[in-house]
Amino acid sequence: MLFSSIPFLYYFLPVTAVLYFVLLGMPSASMDLKNGWLLAASLFFYAWGEPRHVLLMTASILLGYLSGIWMEAVISRAGKDTGGSKARDRQAKWTLVLCILMQLGLLVYFKYADFFIRNLNGLTGSSLPLLRLKLPIGVSFYTFQMLSYLADVYRGEVPAQRSLIRLALYISMFPQLIAGPIVRYSEMAGQLENRTHSLDDFAWGIRRFVLGLSKKVLFANVLGELCEAFKTSGDKAVLFYWIYAAALALHIYFDFSGYSDMAIGLGRIFGFRFPENFDYPYIAGSITGFWRRWHISLGVWFRDYVYIPLGGSRAGRLKGIINILTVWMLTGFWHGAAWNFILWGLFFAVLLILEKTGLLKYPGKGRLLSHVYVIAAVMISFVIFDAADLKEAAACLAGMFGVGELPAVSMECIYYLKSYRVVLLAAAVGATPLCSRLTERMRRSAVGERLLNLLEPAVLAALLLLSTAYLVDGSFNPFLYFRF
């Protein structure tokens, strides 16, 4: 079920919210009862598209629940052992490794088995049959959340969760189940046990959700149509390739950040505070800055659970470079079981290494030049990211740089540029903090504050109605990150 769908907006969400707040108003209703209702709603939400995959997620939850309790018991027994700290550490680490391997085994089997079989066949000339398993929606997201839980228990940051309902809700909570943000268990443990609700939080959540819905429906979906028009065009030109790259970069941003906004807003409605996932990444002046603003929760996860445990940059320059390459290869592979995703991750790794070592001097040396460098690099990267394979990625990059006998401009290119120029311009402005800063400036004056308080409900209602009209009338409503 998509957030940007009529069944979710006008059936699932109202029923879920009304019954939740009915329970909230009952003094006798415990927090576990409210959590239980959200858990039931989340399982129904996930089962809407593919009921069989609920069994896989349930298996992951049960495995993680038992693993956490078992690992805590092993660590506790090891702590009482007189064999010394090294023996205790070794026993605890091997327990953690075993628990992680059990979780990753499910992810690897369903997401990467065919990738490994296909490449093994190519290398050895064998003809092993592909499994052709359907990828469970959101499996990469909820697996990473379970891994964060196990790591937090191992580190002693939180005790193992004895309530199966609370742990299951943390993993399956519908606002962030299928596309994040990736929320660390240590951030959520207290909220699962006790959280506050207020009218202000409810209103803030509705506002954030509607803005995210508008970004998804009014920008991402429309820009996605332009990208599809390019792919099916028989009249390509160099300019058309660059229009596609720009539209694709904006499409991915509004698609994913819009979904993150909706998730954060939904979480606040039910009393949860999720971390921010985007912070206007296209205004960054370096690739390092870009990745501090783009998919923040994923970057923090890899930093805390992979990069730092590998040693980060503390073990010297060479070890630091190897660690960056490892993390970004895994980041690319996390996005998809294909070589173009790995290349996408390594592309960013090389740029980050060049910036970190000072070999790339442009970032920060001239504001305009650094922004041009970031935007161009990101556009190139997303062309690689969106390609079906390396061959298609190479063909797109060749077209962008005029390799071959492509014309600079074509009639179809001009037609689509004129047709989508307003959306492209509005999206480019919307990807900057300009509107947010103007709103903040207005709130500094009493007159501006009153005007915003008067206009905001009408604007949000208009955006909701317009988005609904688009959803009713249109059929193009994909979500890119479902395949991850």
Q: What are the residue numbers of the active site?
A: 335
Burial of 153 (0-12, 13-18, 19+ CB in 10 A): buried
Q: For the CA atoms of 398, 401, 403, 405, what is the dihedral angle to 10 degrees?
A: 120
Q: How far from each other are the two terminal CA atoms of the chain, in whole angstroms?
A: 15
State how far the Cα of 259 lies from the Cα of 180, in Å rounded to an integer. Answer: 8
The Cα–Cα gap between 215 and 431 comes to 10
What is the C-alpha separation between 31 and 153, in angstroms, rounded? 22
- Whole-angstrom Cα distance, residue 326 to residue 320? 10
Q: 453: which 2 tokens?
A: 């308080």
**3-class DSSP string for 173-231:** CCCCCCCCCCCCHHHHHHHHHCCCCCHHHHHHHHHHHHHHHHHHHHHHHHHHHHHHHHH
* DSSP assigned state of 364: T
Are the CB atoms for 54 and 46 separated by under 8 Å?
yes
Rounded to whole angstroms, how far apart are CA atoms 258 and 478? 13
Burial degree of 186 (CB within 10 A; 0-12, 13-18, 19+): middle
